[in-house]
Structure 1
Amino acid sequence: MKTTFAIKFKNTMLEFLALFGRKPQKFLAIDFSQALTGIIYVESSGDGLKLLAYDIQKVLPAGARNEETAVNFIKAFLEKNSIEEKDVLLSISDVDSVVIKFLTMPFIPEKEIRGAAKWKLRDVIPFDLEQSVIDWQFVGDYVDEEGTKNRGMIFIVAMKEIIDHYLLIVNKCNLDPLGITGSSFNYANLLPYVPNNPKVSAVLDVDYKGSTLSIYSNNKLNFVRRLPISWEKLTQSLTEVIVSGEGKIELSRDEAENIENTFGIPEDEKQVVQDKVQATQVISLLRPLLEALVRDLKFSFQYFASNFNSEAPASLYLAGGGSHLKNLDKYLGKELDLPVSYLLLPACVDVQILNKEKLAESDQKKIINALGAAFSGPGAINLLPPKVRAKKEEQIQRMVLRLSAMTGAAIFFLLLLSAQFQVHDYKNRVKNAQVHLKAIAEINELRSKIQLKEDLVEKIREKRTPVAGVLKVISVFVPPELVLEELSLDQGRHDLTLKGTISAVENVAEEILINFMQRLESSPFFDEVGLVSSQRAEPVQKFEISVELGY
């Protein structure tokens, strides 16, 4: 349960990182086969890849596992191409150390699959299952003759000793393994990019010591069978003694490999292949192996169609180091009566950065497995041991937690800034509202005064002096020190007499009185304001004013 959660968490986080373009774009892929070690350096580019660099090294002697040689080869490649990236995908193309098997399993909880598979695999795996690494993929659901629903699954089992060997190599190169896969699964990643690829197709991977036939339905691996033909056996067959009218001829291993690469399966039987060696003699040496290969392929196709309730493969692709036997594609195409071609780089692989419009076909064949591994996506087969996976998942979880903390802090900071901005905004709004309220109050006050004056003017126009209105107008101009004691209004003469006192010393009182009279006179409602009397009566100044109304 914990492992399942961690894997789902990892995939979810990788999708999250991809939204921000933070998923690692450049990485390495290394294919370890029995005869070759191929390494590529690629960059993700949309739905394809950019091939930035590659190299190939022969394993000598073939089938040997020389740790030091492999480490030196990889380090030299990294140094030559100034590569700082550490992420690497591994592919193990070793038929002696890796077994792929289709099994029909009942519907059981995922945590029980491994145990049930070991029980079924114990008789078909040539090495100790307890010292192995196992992974699987679902193929499809099937209903047997009794109506029971079962699940078809492809299992891959690898010797832990071999896995540890290759992990030690990459660790010594300071590389970080992302995953380990196998050739049959790599080819499934490439088939979607093959033009006009049929629904059911097959790939024949000819390696140094053996061959693997993989059959795919809808580009998904369904069936795997090991075949006896190999590059080693083809080479050995050509080193056998040739008896002719001119005596016995025996080719060396180098001469045999040269014939395989240069002439392969001769198309012209009259052709002289090398010195006194005729094409017919080469064909006679290769015929037993080739005919056995054709029989095995036909039987495998028929078996698949019959047992998987499917059509037979409509196309065959060749891959692996032993597939370089010249004209092998033409020979198999004729004998099997179906299209046969080499599995080469898909069009979505950009090689322009290498200053080559098109890679040599021989190089494409040698790095095709590593490229297939580079196209691995979520849910791909992964033979990393459980301890290594757990360690990587812990690293990912720590990275996720670190990223989550940083994201949380960033969100909190943004929320804090937003809150401060809103507080500042609301303060400005309150301040503006207060200014508006003050302006409105002043406007209302002014409107009240204007309304009083308008009412007064209207009544005056009606030839009637409103006493209340006159008092309101006068009250606006009365200063605090001045007290009106008497007001006499003559409606007929439109005269107004004001009497009162001013609480101030004499000179100040006179100044206040003058200002009061000037303010009255400035009003449009009073035409003339005159001082009748002003005398000192300690502690106040008494006065009398005569005002002539303007209406």
Structure 2
Amino acid sequence: MIRLRQKNIYIGIDIGSSSIKVVEVEIGLTGEPILRKASTVKKSEGLKKAISGMRLKGARVVGVVDCQKTCVRQLTIPVMPDKEIIEAIKWEAKDKIPFSLEKSIISYNVQQETEEAGVKKLKVAVAVSPVETVNKVIDLLREVGIEPVSLIEPPLALEYLSRHLNLNKDQTVALIDIGCEFTTIAIVRNNILKFYRKVTLGGSAITKAMTGQWSLDKGRIEISEEEAEKIKQKYGIPKGTDEVLIDEKIPATHLRSLIRPAVERLLNEIERSFEYYREESSGDKVNSVILFGGTAQFKGLDEFLQEELGISVSVGNPLQRMNVAKGAFKYIETISHMFAIALGAALSEGQGINLLPKELKEKTKRTFERAGVEAVVAAVVVTLILTFIGMRLQIVNYNKKINSGNLELKAIVPQLELASDYERIQGEISKREYLIKWILSNTPLWKEVFKELSNIVPKDIVLTEMGMKDNVLVIKGRILSALQNREEVLSNFISALEGTMFKHVSLLSAKMGDQEKEKSEFEIKCEF
């Protein structure tokens, strides 16, 4: 059987409090991601500039929804039918989410089924965001001509990134994205998000702590916010004594005393998050920390956190295990940590939790499922045409050998002592000529076959696999229609196949499913 995966372009967009980060990721036939382009601009410069040069046509855009009221929670509910889960989530979450669920969009993903005290339960990841916030993001994207296929929250993007980084599944890892105004703390184990917390504290707090006027032994000094930002980026947490002047104006010890309260507040928030997670997870401890975001490059921060937390702390590189196209971004290797959330959004491929309104999700699903069918058929046609071309080249080669053999045979006929030998060789040649003619006459015209298939495959059917042996084509696929229509859709498809160039069409197997969300799959055999 031929297992097919079409090549797609995914655009991840992270609109932060001070900058916009956008990445273009190509995921090819083997599933390996390639970073084609990355862009970051100040938020004031706008999204239009950030997406300039991106291949938006045909791309699947995944945006990030981030505000004070967006949240992700892990809930445990009893096992129940799919249609009842959303109401159970609302009941379970009403005391765990600090805003009204009535005017919010809720999306969930069942992570696993467990058993507690003999009762089967579901572990569910739930994302919630106010409708107003979601609509603002959609409107912002539409202003530049973008219709997103999915909207997710920052911790979910970090979860997808953790899967790509292939972290140690036996370790509990905190992925911490420190932005300008906010810090996202996402704790994952086995590449599954276990805990999330958003802290109203970021790199700007450190900059503001360094801004102001002071009277020192060496005179009065003043540092503007612009100067403080430059010093922060250049020196980080400074080392040295009063004799060491930073930027030739402020002693290292004094600057360190200004910075320390801000980084200690960040440390306290991280420690509180780890402690809360440990209580909620019955004692599980965080084994290591990976820093992302613009403030991750603040010199000395990783060393300070590692010393205080007593565990490994490092600056992350989200481009690990990813190919980077030439010219993707001039300084991508040195600031890759800034693109962690945008890359995670792209790597989600629009799957799983999705905060788009229901009507937009359905519209997007129909559009891309149809495109997926066309791409699969095109890929199969190309594969089989290439195979057929190879067969024809072999046959041409055999013809040349046969013609050469005929010439050689004619040259040695007068020298043959027995006529029977000549007749025997002629018989062998005749058999080979017959075999070649048989191959040519029985080789299907694949281009016509798949052109016919692409015309009769209905929108409610997706072909997933195709294979051919001894002039028998086996087709596997899924039915996307409502539960009550599945048998009719499959019957109509079989009837359509029988009206084409196939001699016999028969159903090998079919699984209709008992519920709307359960997969409906089939396998059909067609003889030429």
TM-score normalised to structure 2 length: 0.65
Deviation digits for residues 425-472 of structure 1, max 9, x if unmatched? xxxxxxxxxxxxxxxxxxxxxxxxxxxxxxxxxxxxxxxxxxxxxxxx
1:70-81 to structure 2, matched below 5 A, reads: 70-74=46-50, 76-78=52-54
Q: Distance in 1 between matches of 2:358 and 2:326?
A: 38
Q: Distance in 2 between matches of 1:219 and 1:404?
A: 39
Q: What is the aligned counterpart of 2:145 among 171, 174, 186?
A: 174
Q: Distance in 2 between matches of 1:129 and 1:121?
A: 9
Structure 1 position 177, deviation (Å): 1.6
Q: What is the aligned counterpart of 2:24 among 33, 38, 41?
A: 41
Further displaced range: 32-41 or 386-395 = 386-395
Q: What is the aligned counterpart of 2:105 among 129, 133, 144?
A: 133
Task: Report the counterpart of residue 443 of structure 2 in structure 1.
Answer: none
Q: What is the aligned counterpart of 2:38 among 54, 63, 67?
A: 54
Q: Distance in 1 between matches of 2:368 and 2:104?
A: 25
Is the 2:288–2:313 contact (alpha carbons within 8 Å) kept by the matching residues of 1? yes
Task: Establish whether residue 307 from structure 1 lines up as the match of residue 277 from structure 2.
Answer: no
Q: What is the aligned counterpart of 2:364 among 375, 392, 395?
A: 392
Task: Report the counterpart of residue 155 of structure 1 in structure 2.
Answer: 126
SS of match in other structure, 1:209: coil
Q: Which amino acid aligns with 1:340?
A: V
| Distance change >3 Å, CA 405–CA 217, structure 1 → 2 | same
Task: Establish whether residue 225 from structure 1 lines up as the match of residue 197 from structure 2.
Answer: yes
SS of match in other structure, 1:177: coil
| Distance change >3 Å, CA 274–CA 397, structure 1 → 2 | closer
Q: Distance in 2 between matches of 1:134 and 1:269?
A: 54
1:407-422 to structure 2, matched below 5 A, reads: 407=457, 412-415=499-502
| Distance change >3 Å, CA 51–CA 335, structure 1 → 2 | same
Structure 1 position 28, deviation (Å): 1.8
Q: Distance in 1 between matches of 2:115 and 2:56?
A: 51
| Distance change >3 Å, CA 179–CA 150, structure 1 → 2 | same
SS of match in other structure, 1:213: strand
Q: Distance in 1 between matches of 2:69 and 2:454?
A: 41
Q: Which amino acid aligns with 2:49?
A: F
Task: Establish whether residue 108 from structure 1 lines up as the match of residue 80 from structure 2.
Answer: yes
| Distance change >3 Å, CA 215–CA 75, structure 1 → 2 | closer
| Distance change >3 Å, CA 85–CA 268, structure 1 → 2 | farther
Is the 1:193–1:346 contact (alpha carbons within 8 Å) kept by the matching residues of 2? no
Is the 1:170–1:176 contact (alpha carbons within 8 Å) kept by the matching residues of 2? yes
Task: Report the counterpart of residue 476 of structure 1 in structure 2.
Answer: none
Q: What is the aligned counterpart of 1:375 among 332, 347, 356?
A: 347
RMSD of the alignment, in Å? 3.2
Task: Report the counterpart of residue 10 of structure 1 in structure 2.
Answer: none
Q: Distance in 2 between matches of 1:399 and 1:345?
A: 30
Structure 1 position 31, deviation (Å): 1.4
SS of match in other structure, 1:100: strand
Structure 1 position 226, deviation (Å): 2.5
SS of match in other structure, 2:180: coil
Deviation digits for residues 66-86 of structure 1, max 9, x if unmatched? xxx5343255334xxx65334
Task: Report the counterpart of residue 436 of structure 1 in structure 2.
Answer: none
Is the 2:38–2:328 contact (alpha carbons within 8 Å) kept by the matching residues of 1? no
Task: Establish whether residue 298 from structure 1 lines up as the match of residue 282 from structure 2.
Answer: no
Q: Which amino acid aligns with 2:138?
A: L
Q: Distance in 1 between matches of 2:150 and 2:320?
A: 25
| Distance change >3 Å, CA 31–CA 415, structure 1 → 2 | same
SS of match in other structure, 1:414: coil
Task: Report the counterpart of residue 524 of structure 1 in structure 2.
Answer: none
Task: Establish whether residue 339 from structure 1 lines up as the match of residue 323 from structure 2.
Answer: no
Q: Distance in 2 between matches of 1:355 and 1:299?
A: 39
Task: Report the counterpart of residue 407 of structure 2 in structure 1.
Answer: none
Q: Which amino acid aligns with 2:501?
A: L
1:137-536 to structure 2, matched below 5 A, reads: 137-140=109-112, 150-194=121-165, 197=168, 199-270=171-242, 271-354=244-327, 359-362=332-335, 364-377=336-349, 379-395=351-367, 406-407=456-457, 412-415=499-502
Deviation digits for residues 476-504 of structure 1, max 9, x if unmatched? xxxxxxxxxxxxxxxxxxxxxxxxxxxxx
Rg larger for: 1
Q: Distance in 2 between matches of 1:348 and 1:118?
A: 39
Structure 1 position 397, deviation (Å): 6.3
Is the 1:332–1:340 contact (alpha carbons within 8 Å) kept by the matching residues of 2? yes
Is the 1:135–1:156 contact (alpha carbons within 8 Å) kept by the matching residues of 2? yes
Deviation digits for residues 35-77 of structure 1, max 9, x if unmatched? 22111122113242111112111113xxxxxxxx534325533
Task: Report the counterpart of residue 87 of structure 1 in structure 2.
Answer: 60
Structure 1 position 334, deviation (Å): 1.4
Q: Distance in 2 between matches of 1:378 and 1:95?
A: 20
Task: Report the counterpart of residue 462 of structure 1 in structure 2.
Answer: none
SS of match in other structure, 2:332: coil
Q: Distance in 2 between matches of 1:86 and 1:355?
A: 17
Q: Which amino acid aligns with 1:279?
A: A
Task: Report the counterpart of residue 421 of structure 1 in structure 2.
Answer: none
Q: Distance in 2 between matches of 1:136 and 1:310?
A: 26
The percentage of counterpart residues that share the same residue type is 25
Q: Which amino acid aligns with 2:232?
A: E
Structure 1 position 385, deviation (Å): 1.0
Further displaced range: 405-414 or 287-296 = 405-414
Q: Which amino acid aligns with 2:52?
A: A
SS of match in other structure, 2:500: helix
Task: Report the counterpart of residue 488 of structure 2 in structure 1.
Answer: none
| Distance change >3 Å, CA 264–CA 216, structure 1 → 2 | same
Structure 1 position 417, deviation (Å): 10
Is the 1:95–1:212 contact (alpha carbons within 8 Å) kept by the matching residues of 2? no
| Distance change >3 Å, CA 359–CA 195, structure 1 → 2 | same
| Distance change >3 Å, CA 272–CA 412, structure 1 → 2 | farther
SS of match in other structure, 1:130: coil
Q: Distance in 1 between matches of 2:373 and 2:69?
A: 38
| Distance change >3 Å, CA 414–CA 176, structure 1 → 2 | farther
Q: Distance in 1 between matches of 2:79 and 2:365?
A: 28
Is the 2:20–2:47 contact (alpha carbons within 8 Å) kept by the matching residues of 1? no
Q: Which amino acid aligns with 1:167?
A: I
Q: Distance in 2 between matches of 1:54 and 1:355?
A: 6
Q: Distance in 2 between matches of 1:351 and 1:156?
A: 31
| Distance change >3 Å, CA 75–CA 200, structure 1 → 2 | closer
Q: Distance in 2 between matches of 1:74 and 1:158?
A: 25
Further displaced range: 234-243 or 198-207 = 234-243
Q: Distance in 2 between matches of 1:241 and 1:50?
A: 48
Structure 1 position 186, deviation (Å): 1.5
Q: Which amino acid aligns with 2:43?
A: V
Which protein, 1 or 2, shows the higher relative CO under an 8 Å CA cutoff with sep ≥ 6? 2
| Distance change >3 Å, CA 336–CA 20, structure 1 → 2 | closer
Is the 2:62–2:350 contact (alpha carbons within 8 Å) kept by the matching residues of 1? no
Structure 1 position 279, deviation (Å): 1.7
Q: Which amino acid aligns with 2:137?
A: Y
| Distance change >3 Å, CA 355–CA 205, structure 1 → 2 | closer
Q: Which amino acid aligns with 2:37?
A: A
Q: Which amino acid aligns with 1:351?
A: V
Q: How many residues align?
A: 387
Q: Distance in 1 between matches of 2:296 and 2:174?
A: 14
| Distance change >3 Å, CA 156–CA 176, structure 1 → 2 | same
Q: Which sections of structure 1, spanning at least 5 residues, go unmatched? A: 1-15, 61-68, 419-551
